[in-house]
Amino acid sequence: MATLNVIGDPKNRDQHSKLILTGKLDFAADRLPGRKLFGAVVGATIAHGTVTAIDTAAALAEPGVKAVVTYKDVPSWSATIGSWGQQVAGVVADDWYTAVRATQLIKVTYTPATVVFDADDAMKAGAALVGGLPNGNTTSYGTVNRGNPTTGFTQSDVVVTTNAPWTSTHQHAPLETHQATCWWVGDDAYAWKASQNPHGHKASMMNYLGIKGDNAHFFTHGCGGGFGDRVAIGEDELIVGLVMSKKVGGAPVCIIQGKNNNMCVNTRQFSVRADIKLGAKNDGTLVACDIQSYTNVGCSAGYFSAEWIGIQKSYTIPNFHLENTVVLTNSPITGAWREVGVQPAAMCHQIALDQLAYKLNMDPWALRMKNIKAADAKDQDAPNLVWGGDGTILCLNQVYAASNYASKWHAPNTKTLADGTMHGIAITGYLSSHGTIGGAARGALVTMGPDGTALINMGGGRGSSGPATAMVHIVAETLGLTYADVRCGDWGATDTTLDGSMQAGSTFTASAGSAFFNAAVDARNQVFASALNVAPFASITGITVNDLTSAKSVVSYIKDPTKNTTFAKIMAASPPIAGRGDGWNGFLRSKSVGGQPIGTACNCNGSMATCAEVAVDTETGAVTILGMWNSVDAGRAIFYNGVMREVSAGTELQLSQAFFFGDVYDTASGALIGSQYTESQLPTYMDIPGDVLHPSFVESDDAGGPYGCHGIGEPAVSNYVALKNAIFNATGVWVDQAKGAMSPNKVLKALGKA
């Protein structure tokens, strides 16, 4: 790869780290201290039915209460109840505790309907309707057909069918619960809230409240955890807060969801199960695959589903069929949860691959490597594009070598450690549907200061890995400034930024990055034009902007680099300069991949691999992590420390999903029992064995994104299935996580001991 001056330098720190460490990064509830009222909400106590009456008199009589709102006031609420905890009313009061206390005085009367909570029951003939679909509780989410699977199975030497159980569900559980500070000035609505999509939230204000764009003012700075839960799909606290403010004459209202309400009503990971049939030759060559996929999306009106790219496109399978079915139930709404549908699907297909490998008496690693597609191979499905960069094999090889897998793998249930526990190891890896670039709708601004420094103006939110810092890297590299000479100005202010679109689906670095690349090119061209009027360039006959180059905050004459000057000297004699740019969609920007010409379309996706090594105590069911190696393809690492932070946090989330996360419901009522952080099994720092976690990344230099990057935040969390496969390698039995975590009791149950 080309040597760069700024991008990928480990010495570069997050531009906002000082604000964070000193407690000065402003969050939604920090706005207007001492000048606002507070709001709290009431959740439904049934999972299915209709609100028939609401008595708010007692709440309104409570001292300190200023107003009450109901579903009749809030356009994003409804009298039709689809899940327990759905919001139906709210209170505005002098302080949050008074508001919460008053919500308990509101009396709601319901007409209940039959609760259809279990997805398997919802699919049965004659099941009561959940609502949301006119003629049943299921709908097709698409099919894939390639070759002829029926013929493929007849040509296979070995055929294995895997019935993968329902995967776990869990709310995002951010440290900062959903909250917003909202107020009105005349017809103008103002709102601050944590957001992964500030311009999308502004659009929600306009759509729900029927106001014009120049009357809607949305802002975001601090974000105490997003994970896909703040991308503008429900807008509960935002719209409710503005309605509450309107009720009290436009006064500022800070609506805060308590942990209970936050866990009950906000988006959570959906659950997936699948029946997978794999056919192969005796040497392990995959011939055919048939997948019947089912996704429980709860009561969601708009929904996601399992994503099968991990097996459909990662491995060469000439005969492939997928039937993807969505199932509605009276459980809470589901939505974008880290890696969305890729990792629950992987919990199914990566198990199936291991089961096939063991049927073939083959190392599962060898089975994967025999069938993994080449990095420059075309997609097997139309339009048969190549990948701009595919590091799947690089990731698999990295964890294979780092873990010393070759010397550790063994047949299932055959290796006992000195302490009597059983040893297990497994590797999983595949392509992700995330990390792609789609930036045509993204906009960026770069302004030059009179001292030769630059500010970026970002219309996106702040994520934990520092998306603004990644944009600073791209702008500094493109302009030819040092990292210290480019700073993040304002961000997330919809009044003063171009729409940067969502920071979600691992698209932001590549997609918004392409916009900032173009904005930096625009600013650089203007600086070079101004440079022609200052020494030493003004005295060079026939010089043009094409004769100049820049690096480390110095502009030089290409033909004679001794003739140079600084950005500071140029800008001191220049009129104001601002560069603007739009993003591009993924294409082969600067190199040919897979024999395809420069400028032709390509796929731009992330990929990942994980090796998990465990010890299983077959008497207690306890699983100890001996080592976990997590590798992600960064395309190219723009902000080195941000990449490492994402992969490290992703490794921890894999452990959380495997051994801690999992909703617990009263299936009769649909009530979520684990509705507090203390009741839900959330790991603490003491539960994460940091000394045996080994995060890393590879670089495939993706042709689709600026400087070769693509997104990595989503793929980093994906491979917790490696832990399940490692437990099988240790014990010879598959643990049914039963929609939750692989607890010691479930391990014992798999062993026939509980």
**What residues contact 401, with CB distance under 8 A and at least 6 apart?**
none
Pick the CATH number of 17-23+438-582 from 3.30.365.10, 3.40.190.10, 3.30.70.890, 3.90.79.10: 3.30.365.10
Helix or strand or coil: residue 560? strand
Strands 138-146, 188-193: parallel, antiparallel or unpaired by DSSP?
unpaired
pLDDT at 572 over 60: yes
Sign of CA dihedral 224, 225, 226, 232: negative
CB 610 within 8 A of CB 683: no
* Cα atoms in the 13 Å half-sphere on the side-chain side of 692: 14
- The sheet with strand 107-112 has its strands ordered as 80-81, 49-55, 107-112
Q: In the CATH scheme, what architecture does the domain 31-113+190-245 have?
A: Alpha-Beta Complex (3.90)
- The sheet with strand 253-256 has its strands ordered as 65-70, 87-93, 37-43, 253-256, 179-185, 188-193, 216-219
The predicted structure's pLDDT at residue 234: 54
∠ CA(86), CA(91), CA(95), 5° rounding? 125
The predicted structure's pLDDT at residue 263: 84
Sign of CA dihedral 616, 621, 624, 628: positive
- The two structure tokens encoding residue 687: 């539960």
Residue pointed to by tokens 């930096």: 520
- Which runs of consecutive H residues, i.e. helices, occur in 88-169? 96-103, 119-122, 149-154
| Amino acid at site 173 | A
How many Å apart are CA 614 and CA 598, to the nearest integer?
A: 46
How many Å apart are CA 98 and CA 309, to the nearest integer?
A: 49
Pick the CATH number of 115-171+267-362 from 3.30.365.10, 3.90.930.12, 3.40.50.720, 3.90.1150.10: 3.30.365.10
CB 117 within 8 A of CB 329: yes
Q: What is the pLDDT of residues 445-471, one digit of tens each?
A: 999 999 999 999 999 998 767 899 999
Helix 721-731 and helix 640-659, axial crossing angle in degrees, nearest 10: 50
> Which helix (DSSP H) or strand (DSSP E) does residue 651 occupy?
helix 640-659
CATH 3.30.365.10 fits 373-436+587-754, yes or no: yes
Going by C-alpha positions, the residue among 208, 190, 197, 179 that lies closest to residue 90 is: 179
The predicted structure's pLDDT at residue 489: 92
Going by C-alpha positions, the residue among 167, 165, 209, 154 that lies closest to residue 187 is: 209
The predicted structure's pLDDT at residue 679: 61
CB 42 within 8 A of CB 108: yes
How many Å apart are CA 350 and CA 371, to the nearest integer?
A: 13
140 pairs with which residues across the strands?
325
CB 133 within 8 A of CB 703: no
pLDDT at 719 over 80: yes
Cβ atoms < 10 Å from Cβ of 71: 21
Helix 342-359 and helix 364-371, axial crossing angle in degrees, nearest 10: 110
Mean pLDDT in residue range 333-358: 95
How many Å apart are CA 508 and CA 458, to the nearest integer?
A: 11
Domain boundaries, the chain: 17-23+438-582, 31-113+190-245, 115-171+267-362, 373-436+587-754
**What residues contact 496, with CB distance under 8 A and at least 6 apart?**
457, 490
CB 425 within 8 A of CB 403: yes
Mean pLDDT in residue range 415-427: 98
Going by C-alpha positions, the residue among 194, 210, 223, 252 that lies closest to residue 75 is: 210
Q: What is the pLDDT of residues 12-61, one digit of tens each?
A: 999 999 999 999 999 999 999 999 999 999 999 999 999 999 999 999 99
594 or 294, which is more confident? 294
How many Å apart are CA 570 and CA 452, to the nearest integer?
A: 7
CB 116 within 8 A of CB 48: yes
CB 389 within 8 A of CB 710: yes
Mean pLDDT in residue range 306-332: 97
From residue 58, give the alpha-carbon distance in Å to each of 1, 67, 90.
Answer: 69, 12, 13
665 or 71, which is more confident? 71
Mean pLDDT in residue range 303-321: 96
Q: What is the pLDDT of residues 463-504, one digit of tens each?
A: 767 899 999 999 999 999 999 999 999 899 999 999 999 888
**What residues contact 395, with CB distance under 8 A and at least 6 apart?**
429, 607, 608, 609, 631, 632, 633, 698
Residue 48 phi, psi dihedral angles, 5° rounding: -160, 130
DSSP codes joined into one string, 463-520:
-TT-HHHHHHHHHHHHHT--GGGEEEEEESBTTTS-----S-TT-HHHHHHHHHHHHH
Fold match flag (31-113+190-245 vs 373-436+587-754): no
Strand ranges in 535-606 using DSSP code E only, listed in sequence order: 548-551, 554-557, 560-566, 577-582
428 or 231, which is more confident? 428
How many Å apart are CA 473 and CA 485, to the nearest integer?
A: 11
The predicted structure's pLDDT at residue 233: 58
pLDDT at 426 over 80: yes
The predicted structure's pLDDT at residue 262: 86
Cβ atoms < 10 Å from Cβ of 16: 18
Q: What is the pLDDT of residues 49-71, one digit of tens each?
A: 999 999 999 999 999 999 999 99
DSSP codes joined into one string, 55-66:
E-HHHHHSTTEE
The predicted structure's pLDDT at residue 54: 98
Q: What is the pLDDT of residues 576-619, one digit of tens each?
A: 999 999 999 888 877 888 888 888 899 999 999 999 999 999 99
- The pTM of the full predicted model, rounded to 2 decimals, is 0.96
89 pairs with which residues across the strands?
42, 70
How many Å apart are CA 104 and CA 65, to the nearest integer?
A: 13
Least confident of 293-307, 605-619, 623-637: 293-307
The predicted structure's pLDDT at residue 149: 98
The predicted structure's pLDDT at residue 381: 97
The predicted structure's pLDDT at residue 396: 98
Q: What is the pLDDT of residues 248-257, one digit of tens each?
A: 999 999 999 9
172 or 752, which is more confident? 752
- The two structure tokens encoding residue 453: 């420094």
